[in-house]
Amino acid sequence: MKTGEILPPVELEVQPEWLHYYYQAVGSSYPASNNSAVPATAIAGKALMELLEPLNLPSGVVHTQAVVESISPANIGDKLFCEGVITSVVKRIGIEAMTVRITVKSSNYRDLLKAEMTFKLPGQQAEQG
């Protein structure tokens, strides 16, 4: 993995099955009707995992920073297109970190959300979640 590496794009459907677990995890405060806006963090988290899958990151990776920008709402049943690029890989003594920028678009390629996530890779003293 290197800076500038483009991750293979993925398609994602906002399915009530996985969304149900998201609402359960975060709390029942969201009305999960089909017309409700799906939380951007739910989509960003799911899209991120799908995009990172080809990298086969080791267990022990920890999230150190996250930026999630909601541009337009997505709804249950929507098909989404997710793109990602590695914007930074930092290797110093005792530290290895990676930043990934993702964009999630609607089926008509309208931007729905943008996110940037930084991770600390295992092999050094882990601290964050």
Partner 1 sequence: MQIMKSLSEIKKGCELPEFHKMVSQAEILEYAIASGDFNRIHIDGEYARRVDFKGTIAHGMLLLGFVESMHTRYFGDLWSSGGSLDVKFKRPVHPGDIINIKSLVSSVNIGPNDVTIFCDVKADNGCDTILTGIAKLNIKREDSPSN
- For partner 1, the closer CB: 107 or 128: 128
Q: Which of 44, 82, 100, 102 binds partner 1 (CB under 8 A)?
A: 44
Contact 39, 124 (CB under 8 A): no
Q: What angle do CA 57, 39, 18 make, to 5 degrees?
A: 60
The reply to whether 21 sits near partner 1 by the rule CB under 8 A is yes
Taking CB under 8 A as the rule, does residue 62 contact partner 1?
yes
- Site track for partner 1 across 100-129, x = CB under 8 A: ----------------------x--xxxxx
Residues 70-99 that bind partner 1 (CB under 8 A): 70-73
HEC letters along the chain: CCCCCEEEEEEEECCHHHHHHHHHHHCCCCCCCCCCCECHHHHHHHHHHHHHHHHCCCCCCEEEEEEEEECCCECCCCEEEEEEEEEEEEEECCEEEEEEEEEEECCCCCEEEEEEEEEECCCCCCCCC
**Beta carbon of residue 65, minimum distance to partner 1 (angstroms, whole number):** 5
State yes or no: residue 1 binds partner 1 (CB under 8 A).
no
Q: What residue has token string 């709804």? A: 75
CB of 5 to partner 1, least distance (A): 20
Residue count, binding to partner 1 (CB under 8 A): 43
Binding site for partner 1 (CB under 8 A): 18-22, 24-27, 29-30, 37, 39-42, 44-46, 48-50, 59-73, 122, 125-129
